[in-house]
């Protein structure tokens, strides 16, 4: 796949896959546009042209993708428009931000474990608590191993 049509089809396929995983359509298409772009940065107008939509319709998607930590606003000398670029560490940033959500879930589940007596509910809540505690404990080591592997270091 090297042609422009192939690139666009692959970007749309990725976007549809992200939508299937629960992401909003315009946010998914915006992420795909950044991933498949060879440009250092994109403006709302650039995204609108790439996606074939109005600049206004991408503003909410830009905000959502920026809040996820995948893109960041940058200054481009001589331009009066807002420019955005994909973060170098976008996926580890996103993964790390999801930890706070898991932390919140873990706290709520812990209160549930404390609130119920022995029985099925307690067992289910305890299992959920233990699972999320395990994930939170293991995740930093996984990210570290990934970064080390990306740098060409030992994979241990």
CATH of residue 17's domain is 1.10.10.10
| Domain-ending residue, one of 38, 57, 86 | 86
Q: What is the pLDDT of residue 154?
A: 66
pTM for the full predicted model: 0.75
Q: What is the pLDDT of residue 95?
A: 77
77 & 135 share domain: no
pLDDT category at 94 given cuts 50, 70, 90 is confident
Nearest of 34, 97, 16, 26 to residue 55 by alpha carbon: 26
Compute the distance between CA of residue 106 and CA of residue 128 in angstroms, rounded to an integer: 8
The sign of the dihedral angle between the CA atoms of 29, 64, 93, 17 is negative
pLDDT of 28 strictly over 70: yes
Residues whose CB is less than 8 angstroms from the CB of residue 136 and which lie 6 or more positions away in sequence, other chains included: 99, 102, 103, 106
Where is average pLDDT lowest: 68-72, 92-96, 119-123? 92-96
55 & 73 share domain: yes
Residues 121-156 pLDDT 10s: 999 999 999 998 998 888 888 888 888 898 886 665
Q: What is the pLDDT of residue 101?
A: 79
| Domain-ending residue, one of 71, 86, 101 | 86
pLDDT of 77 strictly over 80: yes
The domain in which residue 97 lies consists of: 89-152
Residues 4-15 pLDDT 10s: 889 999 999 999
């Amino acid at each position: 796949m090297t042609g422009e049509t192939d690139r666009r089809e692959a970007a749309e396929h990725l976007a549809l896959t992200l939508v299937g995983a629960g992401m909003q359509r315009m946010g998914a298409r915006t992420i795909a546009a950044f991933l498949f772009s060879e440009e250092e940065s994109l403006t709302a107008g650039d995204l609108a042209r790439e996606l074939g939509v109005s600049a206004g319709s991408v503003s909410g998607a830009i905000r959502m993708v920026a809040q996820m930590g995948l893109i960041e606003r940058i200054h481009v000398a001589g331009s009066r428009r807002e420019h955005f670029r994909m973060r170098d560490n976008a996926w580890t940033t996103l993964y790390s931000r999801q930890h706070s959500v898991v932390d919140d879930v873990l706290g709520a589940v812990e209160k549930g474990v404390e609130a119920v007596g022995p029985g099925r509910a307690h067992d289910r809540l305890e299992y959920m608590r233990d699972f999320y505690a395990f994930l939170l404990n293991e995740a930093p080591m996984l990210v570290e191993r990934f970064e080390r592997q990306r740098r060409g270091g030992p994979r241990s």
